[in-house]
Structure 1
């Protein structure tokens, strides 16, 4: 049985066309609205500007190099988009994750993507962090408890 995620607007930033198409099918199966795909920084920003996605699945290393972290930072800052990194090279993820919620290492399966999208959806809608799905490396900024504010 396929768990419905709802009409979450998702963008895919992945330079392997077959993988991007596979992601699109998995996302469609759970009711997501895939609003566009891109293979590089320029394409990602064009889709983001036009579609304002709620979630972006972003490969770290793209056609134009190691631009995934720059894309993530701008998507979070300029569009309020939640970002999840997809990568075969987790050591390339910058410290602090450039504002991304976390990362999934390649290769991954459909169940992992579905679980990660459900996790991201909960964060987007409720600003709460549930239990991290298996094979999902949570960003350090989500695991650090907020600093308490000391009275003056």
Structure 2
């Protein structure tokens, strides 16, 4: 269940660490994007995206996630220090994880998203707050 993963993160050290971990897991990092323009340039190449909310061009992560999910069919998980910004959910996206994220958390999140994408049964990781896909609100 290897996925092509887009990393949308403007802190380069965080982004390269994520890139290294997903590579070690056998996935293919598509690109690191620090802003909306770069993220959308790689949208058609990605199957899964890990998206921060506040990027180099401002708080564009929610809009990026929405476009990736709804227009390009990308599975989107938000990784952010500000999970309250997506408290009501983002239609079409999977959920949100509060930063900081450990390597174990990241591995569990990526495994879950890849399994969901492959339509396999998967239990959501403890730290992942799922959105209710029907209405965009948080699932309980």
TM-score normalised per structure 2: 0.90
2:33 to 29, 38, 41: 38
Q: Secondary structure at the match of 2:96?
A: strand
Is 1:7 aligned to residue 12 of structure 2?
no
**Consecutive unaligned residues in structure 2, runs of 5 or more:** none
> Matched residue of 2:126: which SS?
coil
Instruction: Give 2:18's match in structure 1, choosing from 15, 20, 23.
Output: 23
Partner of 2:58: 65
CA contact (8 A) 2:2 2:114 kept: no
Deviation (angstroms), 1:94:
5.3
Any stretches of 5+ residues in structure 1 without a counterpart? 1-5, 145-152
List 4+ stretches of structure 1 deviating above 4 A. none
Question: TM-score normalised to the size of structure 1?
Answer: 0.83
CA distance in 1, matches of 2:78, 2:17: 16
Which residue of the other structure, out of 130, 135, 140, is the alignment partner of 2:127? 135
CA RMSD of aligned residues (A): 1.7
Say whether residues 1:105 and 2:117 are aligned partners: no
Quick check: 1:75 aligned with 2:65? no
Distance 2:121 2:73 in 1: 17
**Which has the larger helix fraction?**
1
- Deviation at 1:99? 2.1
